[in-house]
Amino acid sequence: MRTHICKLFLLTVLLSNAAYAELVIQISEGIKRRPIAVVPFGWKGTAAAPLDIAKVISDDLNRSGRFAPLPVSDMLQKPTNGSDVDFDDWSVLGMEAVVVGTVTQTGENAYTVQFQLFDVYGRDQLVGYKMPASRGTMRRVAHRTADMIYEKLTGIKGVFDTKVAYVTTQPRGNGKLFSLYVADQDGENEIVIMESKDPIMSPAWSPDSRRLAYVSFEGNKSSIFIQTLRTGNRVQVSNKEGINGAPAFSPDGRQLVVTLGGVDGNLDIHVLDINTRQTRRLTTHRAIDTEGSWSPDGSYIYFTSDRSGGPQIYRVAAAGGTPERITFEGSYNARPRLSPDGTRLAMVHLNRGNYQIAVIDMVDAKRRDLLILSGGQQDESPSFAPNSDTLIYATRATKNGVLETVTADGLIRQQLASGRGDVREPVWSPFQAF
């Protein structure tokens, strides 16, 4: 396992208008970016500060599309302590909130990060914390701080301290090199989990975010592996005859839903017990049944089936039963993923010849309103952030896949442009234990 120096170059683009072929939204209320000042943190220690924490926080808030951080050069004062904050100065600059803080070195590799968030209008502190950190955890502490600020100001849980796994394809000699990566959600700390000249597909996070399941075609045959991130240790859990594909963890982390082809090649949904390796077949239709994923409560498995002619989303009770069709709008709906709060179902939807990311509102079973979130031609692999508010997916820019994020209401969309080849199949991690 090695860390790549090459970073994801992050392009923050607010795209609510441009990408829609048919529509320009003009909404008077709009999504207003809230002005916020993240003052450079004070530093008490030897040598230089290990990390510009304020910059990490500021970049996080900016990337969310909901905040417009004030450039440091425009600040009239740079307090590092709450008692030094002059609210009039920030009020003049039109700031709604101010973040100040200090990093104090307490040992060779021990620091204390302290921050305070102030409401400029109310002239009071909204949240303030002191957290221990080391050089290794400093960046996570910064993301955690951004999460707390974000949640306090928007009422939505922040996902800055989360990770994303994805697969890249790059030319290598006469063939290709497939790599499975895990990176912080801002593209930093990118780590190769697995590399192969044969395709790697369908990464899936375990609920504790410590393991990844994926499909590897090494030896020209598909099989499913579970790899522990910390140790790099991997275990082959399914190597049956025919296709072994599309794994997804059950909410309790003990089972995988997988697609198995068997000898006759009839793809069906199976549940695999990770400990015993025993499988239980859930669908038997001669059509293709694939891309299974669990409902957050573990009671249903949603999957794609072409039993009605074209691909549509169905669900079947995890205990077994008769599949029930979920999608009816459009001729192509595939790769279902329920939001962690269970209120939205994301999928790839064919819209006027373009494969785009859409969500169905699952709250009102009679309505099931569909909303298209992306604007590309070949968008794929929607995956919800653990806060259910944002999704990540892959889209095609020229011939390479790049990653985009979009809020589940479709209002804020951003592109994460990558320096490396073709990026595909992004999956957002669950919330991380600290």
Site residues, another protein (CB under 8 A) = 16, 20-27, 29-32, 34, 119, 121-122, 124, 155, 351-352, 361, 363-364, 367, 369-372, 409-411
10 Å CB burial of residue 176 (0-12, 13-18, 19+) is middle
Rounded to whole angstroms, the Cα distance separating 181 from 373 reads 25
State the nearest-atom distance from the C-beta of 162 to another protein, in Å: 22
Q: Which is nearer to another protein, 155 or 175 (CB)?
A: 155
Rounded to whole angstroms, the Cα distance separating 316 from 293 reads 10
State the nearest-atom distance from the C-beta of 155 to another protein, in Å: 6
Task: Report residue 358 as tokens.
Answer: 């859409």
State the nearest-atom distance from the C-beta of 24 to another protein, in Å: 5
State the nearest-atom distance from the C-beta of 97 to another protein, in Å: 11
Q: Which is nearer to another protein, 261 or 410 (CB)?
A: 410
Q: Which is nearer to another protein, 14 or 363 (CB)?
A: 363
Q: Which is nearer to another protein, 96 or 380 (CB)?
A: 96
Instruction: Identify the CA nearest to 397 among candidates 410, 378, 374.
Output: 378
State the nearest-atom distance from the C-beta of 368 to another protein, in Å: 10
Beta strand pairing status for 124-133 and 211-216? unpaired
Q: Which is nearer to another protein, 197 or 367 (CB)?
A: 367
DSSP symbols for 153-209: HHSS---TT-EEEEEEEEEETTEEEEEEEEEETTS-S-EEEEEESS-EEEEEE-TTS
Q: Which is nearer to another protein, 252 or 364 (CB)?
A: 364
Adjacent-strand bridge partners of 380: 394
Instruction: Identify the CA nearest to 151 among candidates 139, 161, 140.
Output: 161
- Residue 84's identity, in one-letter code, is D
User: What percent helix, strand, coil does the chain show, rounded to 5?
Assistant: 10, 45, 45
State the nearest-atom distance from the C-beta of 347 to another protein, in Å: 15
CB contact at 8 A, 395 and 418 = no
Sign of the torsion angle spanned by Cα atoms 231, 232, 233, 235:
positive
DSSP symbols for 213-250: EEEE-GGGS-EEEEEETTT--EEEEE--SS-EEEEEE-
10 Å CB burial of residue 346 (0-12, 13-18, 19+) is buried
Q: Which is nearer to another protein, 128 or 199 (CB)?
A: 128
State the nearest-atom distance from the C-beta of 96 to another protein, in Å: 9
Contacts 24+ apart (CB under 8 A), 372-377: 372/410, 373/346, 373/406, 373/408, 373/410, 373/413, 374/19, 374/404, 374/406, 374/413, 375/15, 375/19, 375/20, 375/21, 375/413, 376/19, 376/404, 377/353
Rounded to whole angstroms, the Cα distance separating 153 from 97 reads 9
State the nearest-atom distance from the C-beta of 29 to another protein, in Å: 4
State the nearest-atom distance from the C-beta of 122 to another protein, in Å: 6
Q: Which is nearer to another protein, 3 or 28 (CB)?
A: 28
Q: Which is nearer to another protein, 86 or 124 (CB)?
A: 124
Q: Which is nearer to another protein, 91 or 196 (CB)?
A: 91
Distances (CA, A) of 142 to 52, 96, 132, 237, 369: 9, 21, 11, 37, 38
Q: Which is nearer to another protein, 189 or 343 (CB)?
A: 343
Number of Cβ within 10 Å of residue 47's Cβ equals 7
Rounded to whole angstroms, the Cα distance separating 24 from 50 reads 45
State the nearest-atom distance from the C-beta of 315 to another protein, in Å: 21
State the nearest-atom distance from the C-beta of 373 to another protein, in Å: 10
